[in-house]
C-alpha cells in the first residue's frame, strides 16, 4: 500500500493536466514502513524523453513522442536522491501520466521499472484526470496493482 495526502494526489493530477497531451513525470520521496510506503514529498520533473534518449533503447518500433513515453533526466534523479538523503527520506517511487490511455503500465513501463519502486500512473482524457493507480513489480517482474490510501 502507498499513502498519499489529497494535496499530494492533486499535485500529481495538476502536473499531468498541465503537461497534457504529453506525459508528465516525477519522483516520490518518503518512508518505507513494513510493506507500505508513505509519500512525504512530490517532485515534479520535466519529461526529458527525446529522440536521442529513445535511441539508447533496443526496441524496434520505439516511440519518439512524449505523448507515449517519459524519461526523468539523470540530474533530476540525482537531485532527488540528495534531497531525500538530506531529509532522511528515500526515493520510493515514480509517477507519470498516460494521456488518453488507461492508468495501467505499458510493456515499456514494465521493462524499465525498478523493483522496489511504486509507480503511480494517472490516466487523462481530453486533458482531465480520469483515473489513478499505483503498481509494483512482483518477484516475476510483473506489475501488480498497489492500493492507494488517502490520508490527511
How confident is the model over 9-20, as pLDDT tens digits? 999 999 999 999
How confident is the model over 61-103, as pLDDT tens digits? 677 789 999 999 999 999 999 999 999 999 999 999 999 999 9
At 49, give phi and psi (nearest 5°): -60, 135
Kindly give, in sequence order, each residue whose CB lies less than 8 Å from that of residue 80, ignoring residues fewer than 6 positions away.
27, 29, 43, 91
Which of these, 79, 113, 93, 119, lies nearest to 30 by C-alpha position?
A: 93
How confident is the model over 6-65, as pLDDT tens digits? 999 999 999 999 999 999 999 999 999 988 999 999 999 999 998 888 877 766 667 778
CA distances from 82 to 10, 29, 79 (A): 25, 11, 5
Extract the C-alpha cell encoding 55. Answer: 535511441
Which structural domains are found in the chain, ordered by start? 2-146 (3.40.140.10)
Looking up cell 497531451, which residue turns up?
21
pTM, full prediction: 0.95
Amino acid at each position: 500500500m502507498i499513502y498519499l495526502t489529497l494535496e499530494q494526489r492533486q499535485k500529481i493530477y495538476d502536473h499531468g493536466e498541465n503537461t497534457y497531451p504529453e506525459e508528465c513525470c516525477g519522483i516520490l520521496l518518503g518512508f518505507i514502513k513494513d510493506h507500505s510506503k508513505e509519500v512525504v514529498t512530490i517532485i515534479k520533473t520535466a519529461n526529458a524523453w527525446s529522440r536521442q534518449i529513445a535511441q539508447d533503447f533496443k526496441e524496434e518500433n520505439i516511440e519518439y513522442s512524449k505523448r507515449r513515453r517519459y524519461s526523468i533526466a539523470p540530474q533530476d534523479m540525482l537531485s532527488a536522491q540528495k534531497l531525500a538523503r538530506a531529509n532522511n527520506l528515500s526515493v520510493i517511487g515514480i509517477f507519470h501520466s498516460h494521456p488518453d490511455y488507461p492508468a495501467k503500465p505499458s510493456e515499456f513501463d514494465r521493462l524499465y521499472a525498478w523493483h522496489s519502486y511504486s509507480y503511480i500512473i494517472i490516466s487523462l482524457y481530453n486533458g482531465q484526470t480520469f483515473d489513478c493507480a499505483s503498481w509494483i513489480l512482483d518477484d516475476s517482474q510483473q506489475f501488480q496493482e498497489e492500493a492507494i490510501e488517502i490520508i490527511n
